[in-house]
Structure 1
Amino acid sequence: MERTVTATEANRDFSRIFRDVARGERYVITAHGKPMVRMEPAAEPATVEDRAARLRVLADELAVLPGRAPGPITREDGYA
């Protein structure tokens, strides 16, 4: 569920809002009636296993790409 509060309310009740967000609530903070900020829980950090699995998928995708020769490299290429 997403709750809407004004910037003044958010400033006054920040600690409570922060605790609510930590428990999974979502807030939209408005200024002059316009939505300005969305507060929501941060995504859980990826585990080592998740990162390793994503790296394996990336390596597999890169392995099927055709190789390209860079062509002749000159001294001037280092200044480009």
Structure 2
Amino acid sequence: MTAEQIGAYEAKTHLPRLLDEVARGESITITKHGRAVARLVPVAPEAERPEAVIAALRAARVGVRRGDDSIRAMIDEGRR
């Protein structure tokens, strides 16, 4: 995987080619007046997407108990 820098005007002109490069796993930094302003990167695999992580966390907490304390009691305990 290589990283390439390209100016905003050139990126606009060559977007289809850039998307092909990103689809092959490359990441591209878009610059404006010499300063990096954006990155084109491949989409994360399904397991790394936020929705998948949230679903895994929810599944992991099924059956986990917080004890006998109510939420109010825990909040009050944290304020002491």
TM over 0.5: yes
Q: Distance in 2 between matches of 1:68 and 1:57?
A: 21
Q: State the SS of the aligned residue for 1:9.
A: helix
Unaligned residue ranges in structure 2 (runs of 5+):
73-80
- Aligned: 1:25 with 2:26: yes
Could you tell me which residue of structure 2 aligns to residue 76 of structure 1?
A: none
- Aligned: 1:34 with 2:35: yes
Q: How many angstroms does 1:70 deviate by? A: 5.9
Could you tell me which residue of structure 2 aligns to residue 57 of structure 1?
A: 60
Name the count of aligned residue pairs: 65
Unaligned residue ranges in structure 1 (runs of 5+):
72-80
CA RMSD of aligned residues (A): 2.5
In structure 2, do the counterparts of structure 1 residues 57 and 9 end up closer, same or farther at CA, with 3 Å as the change threshold?
A: same
- Identity over aligned residues, as a percent? 28
Q: State the SS of the aligned residue for 1:24.
A: coil
Give the TM-score taking structure 2 as reference length.
0.65
Moved over 4 A (4+): none
Give the TM-score taking structure 1 as reference length.
0.65
Q: Distance in 2 between matches of 1:58 and 1:14?
A: 43
Q: Distance in 2 between matches of 1:70 and 1:11?
A: 52
Letter in 1 for 2:18: I
Task: Give the greater-gyration-radius structure (CA).
Answer: 1
